[in-house]
Structure 1
Amino acid sequence: MLELYHYDHSTAAQKIRIALAEKHLEWTSHHLDTSVEKREHFSPEYLKINPRGIVPTLVHDGKAIRESQVILEYLDDAFPEPPLRPASAYDKARMRLWTKLVDEALHVHSRIVGMCIVVRHAKAAAGPVELEKYLKEMPETVRERNDRVNLEKGLDSPLLPESVAYFKKVFEDMNAELAESTWLAGDTFSLADISLGVYVTRLKSFQMAPLWEHMTHLNEWYGRFIARPSYEEGVIKWGDKTTAKRKSYGMEAFGKVSELWNAG
């Protein structure tokens, strides 16, 4: 039995739902309310299976698997057909160079960008008392510290320029790679495409797509990615209750983010 603890617009959860759809697996949904007010991901029950208090967590026959990149590899080991890793050792290495980026820095930078552009508005709306409870309940001090800075400074956060520059470099590298192959790790769709594709979705939801409109190969690849039935199942089907706010706040932030993007 497969169970997934997740929430709708989490990039990390989107990856897992896409992979589950690619493998045509049935699973039970446990949708968590991660709002400042509810904080279900900080509940004692959830912290028992994920001490970091983050989503997603996959539970397979009673055993918890944490961290989205680890879960993706686990799914391909536990349910090898159809495979989501390339056949050749070389292409597997190419794939892992991309997925390695997510754990090394990309996911952290994604949180910083999202917090500075959009999320700070939603969290601030909960009021200072609830927000302070939310921050103090965070199991991880580094994440709490970063969030405090970004909530206070917003688009003027000292952390934002590095994060925007990092995304620009990754997108440029992806565009160059995709000039030579259909997918990020060769000619077959893989965990690399799932792992990186959802971050393009995230930035597009913030109305940032004009920043990379000239990256032809990246945009064509993204078109292939979102055309897959698994994207419909893993992303579109779950919706995003923050869509309107992402669009509005993203449009407000575009000038500043564009300035940072073009600074390098």
Structure 2
Amino acid sequence: MELYFNWNAVCALKVVLCLAEKGVDWTPRHIVLGKFEQLEPGYLAINPAGVVPALVHDGHVILESSVILEYLEDAFPDFALRPAAAADRARMRWWMRQVDDIVHPSVRPISFARFVAPRAKALSEAERAAMLSRTPKKEIADLWDRAAGAPFSDEEIGRYLTSIRKVLISMEEQLRGSRWLAGDMLSLGDIAMAPYFRRFEQLGVTSLWSELPAVSSWWQQMRARPAYAALDRLRLQYAPADHPAA
């Protein structure tokens, strides 16, 4: 099993956390986003979207982090991360959709404004044009172009933070009645959400949940799990070669 990932890419870290919880051995294939290795022909042959993660298992290529999480649950069911009850499974998937549809699209531009803009502005016009022409996903190309030009306004960043805050308030309501997002067992919903809290800390926006006690308790539980240490190990191993990226 090979995982193409970046040490600081939130979608990739969902998969790392899932593998760690399940105790599955895997071979790391680190993609240095700061050097645009995700746009090299060899990687595009694996993932034509030019993003991480990509999982290769027994010759099968699995793409998109939420799909990879479900794949790992099917392939390695001994340590279950999907509830047995249908209603709880639906709740788990609802939280995964909150991550994919709201949290990630809101975090990405904030991350670009904070981490990517300095690098984007340092590129020459020719370098930027070459990079943009090689970027398959238009929304990512647009973010790079925006980061290099007009910065995101405080008003725009505020709107993204408001969207995230609404999701966290919903989390607070859920977690007042259960230990985890899909009930009393850790699930893929929690795995999908956790790396974003790590990113919130990097961005210095912990005030998003400082007055949400149930969410705060949930995050403390997630960080205390032995599997979470896998994220710190990857940071220590790979961060010096890379730049923080969305």
Q: TM-score, normalised by structure 1?
A: 0.85
How many residue pairs end up in the alignment? 240
1:39-92 Cα deviation digits (max 9, x unpaired): 111111111111100000000011100000000000000111101111211100
**1:18·1:230 contact (CA, 8 Å) conserved in 2?**
yes
* Runs of 5+ consecutive residues of structure 1 not aligned to the other structure: 247-264
Q: Which has the higher contact order (CA 8 A, sep 6+)?
A: 2
Between the aligned partners of 1:204 and 1:176, the Cα distance in structure 2 is 22
Q: Aligned partners of 2:195 and 2:124: how far apart in 1? A: 30
Question: What one-letter code is carried by the residue in structure 2 that aligns with 1:63?
Answer: H
Which whole-Å deviations, capped at 9, do the CAs of 1:18-54 have from their partners, x for residues lacking one?
Answer: 111111111111111111xx21111111111111000
Match of 1:227 among 195, 220, 224: 224
Measure, in 2, the Cα distance between the counterparts of 1:192 and 1:92.
9
Cα deviation for residue 211 of structure 1 reads 3.5
Q: Give the aligned partner of residue 98 of structure 1.
A: 95
Paired residues of 2:120 and 2:147 also in contact (CA < 8 A): no
Shift of 1:110: 1.5
Alpha-carbon shift at residue 117 of structure 1 (Å): 2.3
What residue identity is the alignment partner of 2:127? E
Match in the other structure for 2:12? 13
CA contact (8 A) 2:116 2:147 kept: no
2:5–2:28 contact (8 Å) kept in structure 1: yes
For the 8 Å contact 1:150–1:157, the answer to whether it is kept is no
Aligned equivalents of 1:41, 1:159: Cα separation in 2: 28
Q: Which moved more, 1:113-122 or 1:93-102?
A: 113-122
SS in structure 1 at match of 2:177: coil
CA–CA separation in structure 2 for the residues paired with 1:150 and 1:177:
36
Q: Determine whether 1:87 maps to 2:87.
A: no
C-alpha separation in 1, matches of 2:6 and 2:130: 21
Secondary structure at the aligned position of 2:7 is classed as coil
| Conserved 8 A contact 2:112-2:143 | no
Query: What letter is aligned with 1:188?
Result: M
Which blocks of at least 5 consecutive residues in structure 2 are unaligned?
A: none
When structure 1 is superposed on structure 2, of 171-180 and 72-81 the one drifting more is 171-180
Q: Using the TM superposition, give the Cα deviation of residue 127 of structure 1 relative to its aligned residue in structure 2, in angstroms.
A: 4.1
Give the TM-score of the pair, scaled to structure 2.
0.91
Give the structure 1 partner of residue 130 of structure 2.
133
Q: Secondary structure at the match of 1:154?
A: coil
Match of 1:176 among 167, 173, 177: 173
Structure 1 CA distance, aligned partners of 2:95 and 2:138? 27
In the alignment, is residue 238 of structure 1 matched against residue 238 of structure 2?
Answer: no
Displacement of 1:5 in angstroms is 0.4
Aligned ranges 1:157-196 → 2 under 5 Å = 159-196=156-193
Quick check: 2:96–2:193 contact (8 Å CA) kept in 1?
yes
